Amino acid sequence: MTLFNPVQSHPLLVFGGPYSNAEATKAMLAEATRLAIPATNVLCSGDLVAYCASPQETINLIRQWDIAVVMGNCEESFGNDADDCGCGFEEGTSCDLLSAGWFNFSKPRISRDNKQWMKQLPRSISFHYAGFEFEAVHGGTEQINQFIYASDVEQISAQLADTHARIIIGGHGGIPFGKEVFGKSVFAKTAVNKAWLNAGVIGMPANDGTQDGWYMLISTLADAIEISWHRLTYDAQNTADTMSQSGLDTAYKTALLTGIWPSADVLPDTEKARSGIPLALAPLVIPLTSI
């Protein structure tokens, strides 16, 4: 577990899944600059390399930015020279079959130095901010490629109850959400309010019929924090054109432009039913004192 020491006087900026999308990564960096958020307060929940056509450039941008990065299943796979992405897709599903294309495209295009860098990334990052204890992971607290969505209330409650942290930041699923849970923790004598947060991803749409990526801001209030989710607009057409020019003319290129995933295999029924519906996430305020 690695410590992350954000400056308390600035908000936190959290995002996931650059997915080899250099245009989206540049847009995220520009947004951080616009918001005057220093690199010390930026956290990426992993999966730098995936569906798009600029794996090396995307990793280089993230490394030059010098932000905190949680190891995702893609970093683990490329870092260990694995034969697949380790995404956790069920064998034979559309997602599983599609993943082979971008993985085999990316593997020879990532430098040995970048693979070594990915290999040493932490699987979790713990930190304190505004009086709260956080733990950032990629998938679940025990399984790096576990898909967790807002409707997975039992999994969220169980994993929050089994950790010291008041707030878990997860990734991997590709759809932003925040879920607050009230209950008994194995580490506390009284019931506490905890939360599971997912910033969404910047490199692919959130299956909501728009081209936008998503990121998350965590800001301080008097004796509380406010979590807010924001759209990231960038030149999706340019990313799609780069994929075509690179010979990576896949269903994910279409997804960049339509905002609809090529398959909903990984989604629970609740999230499947919302495919193509633009997201609107209200801010979440969590008081420092347990209630």
pLDDT, residue 98, reads: 65
**DSSP summary character for residue 8:** T
| Burial of 147: CB neighbours in 10 Å, binned 0-12, 13-18, 19+ | buried
pLDDT, residue 66, reads: 96
How many Å apart are CA 239 and CA 91, to the nearest integer? 28
Q: Which residues pair with 191 in a beta bridge?
A: 184
How many Å apart are CA 148 and CA 171, to the nearest integer? 8
pLDDT, residue 189, reads: 56
pLDDT, residue 265, reads: 86
Phi, psi of 155 (to 5 degrees): -65, -45
Distance set, CA 112 to CA 150, 175, 268 (Å):
37, 31, 37
How many Å apart are CA 152 and CA 150, to the nearest integer? 6
Element (H, E) at 270: helix 269-272
Per-residue tens of pLDDT for the chain, all 291 residues: 456 899 999 999 999 999 999 999 999 999 999 999 999 999 999 999 999 999 999 999 999 999 999 999 999 999 998 877 766 555 555 555 667 778 899 999 999 999 999 999 999 999 999 999 999 999 999 999 999 999 999 999 999 999 889 999 999 999 999 999 976 555 555 567 899 999 999 999 999 999 999 999 999 999 999 999 999 999 999 999 999 999 999 999 999 999 999 988 889 999 999 999 999 999 999 998 864
| Under 8 Å between Cβ of 70 and 45 | yes
Neighbours of 155 (CB within 10 A): 16
pLDDT, residue 182, reads: 78
Distance set, CA 84 to CA 29, 114, 183 (Å):
29, 17, 38
Ranges of H-type helices in 15-164: 22-34, 55-65, 73-79, 94-106, 112-119, 153-161
pLDDT, residue 115, reads: 97
Terminal CA-to-CA distance of the chain, rounded, Å? 28
How many Å apart are CA 71 and CA 4, to the nearest integer? 14
Dihedral of alpha carbons 265, 271, 273, 275, sign? negative
Dig out the tokens for 53 from the structure: 């056509």
| Under 8 Å between Cβ of 44 and 74 | no
For residue 118, what are the contacts with CB-CB under 8 A and spacing of at least 6?
A: 48, 59, 71, 75, 76, 78, 79
Ranges of beta strands (E only) in the chain are 2-3, 12-15, 42-44, 68-69, 125-129, 132-136, 167-170, 177-184, 191-198, 213-221, 224-232, 284-287
